[in-house]
Structure 1
């Protein structure tokens, strides 16, 4: 046997192993197709978006949102509970009960009366949620951050208020990947709404007021700030109806004597100053304003202690969470009166 044969055999074996190794790393057509599909799926996920119908039309929001900003008071507690960071917000309008956005990493864009939109621009948001007190700033914001998606989900006139609250939280859930959490908030709200509806006797007269600066303002059915929509949702019988009532943040100017003469069975109270002036030496809690007012001394709601107070932070936190708390408080009070 030639001494070259073992060497040739060894070389042949090595070549075979090398070829086998190459065939092991070379994708078959089906494997290659699967790999390409996976790559395409990953790329699609990275470049995905969601289309939201807001108050201005269809808005395409690129996902995931990297640098969100919000001006809408209805959103702060929801987003904080979901752990959604913000790069900019009107800090003066966020109640102290919400601490998630008080840090220096969140740019302060002032308030609706003196907005600092330059701070918003510097924060470089890719999404801005516009609404409530900043609704009038929509066009200005759109012009200053043209690359950002803008969402305006402020409840629309002529639409059912409960549906509008749910529309907003549903959209936010889609945008931030919190669909399950949004569904839970809606379920909680619906349960509280049904409790309050079922507990109302259908005939007791209700008066809603806003206490501000020690004065008692009237919050009328449908239009009144905070309380107005609840008259419609719960089918409440108003103790007093004032022509051309408004959604004024301090309530409408109605004399306490008129309120007393209407003799409501229930009084619903929102303490406007509790969230903006609680540290002021001259601040008087709404409970004291109501109880110390001589004109209301003989009103049934007062003598029967049938008064429901909204959460202290309601004035700057009218989210679906706040309304769930309010509705449960109303249900508790109505149910308690029946026992």
Structure 2
């Protein structure tokens, strides 16, 4: 007799519990297990920002961040796809809204993406204030390297902040560690008695990249402690550098030449039929054949997508290539 009674009591108990939980507004299991939205506070070039994580709609315009975001599998609602190199997966992603280049940006498409996070910078930097006005509910992060700050620290700061935003702290630490290791290798292998000339090539012409202020390779002088083979009183920060003749290069006679081929970042149609690779311009020029760097094959080229990338991965790859060449020259 007692067993049926216990069952009856248990049944009533369960019913009561269900009734109570029902009145308390219990949610389905699947919904209950869904993680609650969180936030993280990060600091960029304009101050501190609280970012909801994970962000629901992300827009990216900063070239230096494309590779990192792509490698981390971050889904973008819109981006400056026209400014991406072919080496970044977003370039060929169907359905990704293209905001266009910085020369003719379509900011209406940015608004239509309803972003809650915008990673802006580099070529789009001048549009910051306009973007903030057009998307007042979005957090706009600017992580461009700041003037007066060590360039390597700025590259590391960028990926560290992005790691916090997207929950990729471990991946960000690895990127920083890989970069530091490559830089240390190059520093250790480089002899200060060796002179260095950094140049870029574009449209068949050669431009000198000045130490510190020069585009892309300028900061590498400071990072590795390179001895310049040529000093220019007034130097440019522009993407083409300062005009330099092959005679001036021959006169400087550098031990090493570091090169960024600007045009190699673009596809064949954009390069044009007259495109000449940097190697052809430098290594097949009779006026340069007796330059120590050319004669000894001490020319190191940046990755072909550098001009449209310039992220920490680009520099890590280049510094490892430079270290390889330096170590080989000692063997």
TM-score, normalised to structure 2, is 0.90
Indicate conservation of the 8 Å contact 2:257/2:293, yes or no: yes
C-alpha deviations, 1:114-135, integer Å up to 9, x for none?
Answer: 1111111111211110011111
Indicate conservation of the 8 Å contact 1:169/1:182, yes or no: yes
Gaps (5+ residues) in structure 2? 18-25
Distance in 1 between residues matched to 2:35 and 2:49, nearest whole Å: 19
Bigger drift between 237-246 and 17-26 goes to 17-26
For residues 295-310 of structure 1, what are the structure 2 equivalents within 5 Å? 295-310=287-302
Distance in 2 between residues matched to 1:167 and 1:22, nearest whole Å: 60
Indicate conservation of the 8 Å contact 1:131/1:153, yes or no: yes
CA change 1:175–1:240 in 2 (3 A) is same
Bigger drift between 269-278 and 236-245 goes to 269-278
SS of the residue corresponding to residue 90 of structure 2 reads coil
Alignment of 1:100 with 2:90, yes or no, is: yes
**Coordinate RMSD, CA, aligned:** 2.1
Specify which of 105, 127, 131 is matched with residue 137 of structure 1. 127
Indicate conservation of the 8 Å contact 2:90/2:96, yes or no: no
Indicate conservation of the 8 Å contact 2:254/2:292, yes or no: yes
Indicate conservation of the 8 Å contact 2:175/2:313, yes or no: yes
SS of the residue corresponding to residue 290 of structure 1 reads helix
Alignment of 1:240 with 2:250, yes or no, is: no
Indicate conservation of the 8 Å contact 2:212/2:219, yes or no: yes
Alignment of 1:81 with 2:71, yes or no, is: yes
Greater C-alpha Rg: 1
CA change 1:136–1:277 in 2 (3 A) is same
Per the alignment, residue 283 of structure 2 pairs with 291
Gaps (5+ residues) in structure 1? 1-9, 28-35
Alignment of 1:265 with 2:243, yes or no, is: no
Per the alignment, residue 62 of structure 2 pairs with 72
SS of the residue corresponding to residue 92 of structure 2 reads coil
TM-score, normalised to structure 1, is 0.88
SS of the residue corresponding to residue 250 of structure 2 reads helix
Indicate conservation of the 8 Å contact 1:277/1:283, yes or no: no
Indicate conservation of the 8 Å contact 2:78/2:99, yes or no: yes
Distance in 2 between residues matched to 1:127 and 1:45, nearest whole Å: 19
Superposition deviation, residue 260 in structure 1: 1.6
Specify which of 150, 157, 161 is matched with residue 151 of structure 2. 161
Distance in 1 between residues matched to 2:15 and 2:234, nearest whole Å: 79
Per the alignment, residue 187 of structure 1 pairs with 177
Bigger drift between 192-201 and 15-24 goes to 15-24
Per the alignment, residue 141 of structure 2 pairs with 151
Per the alignment, residue 335 of structure 1 pairs with 327
Q: Which runs of 4+ in 1 moved over 3 A?
A: 12-27, 42-45
Superposition deviation, residue 275 in structure 1: 1.2
Superposition deviation, residue 298 in structure 1: 1.6
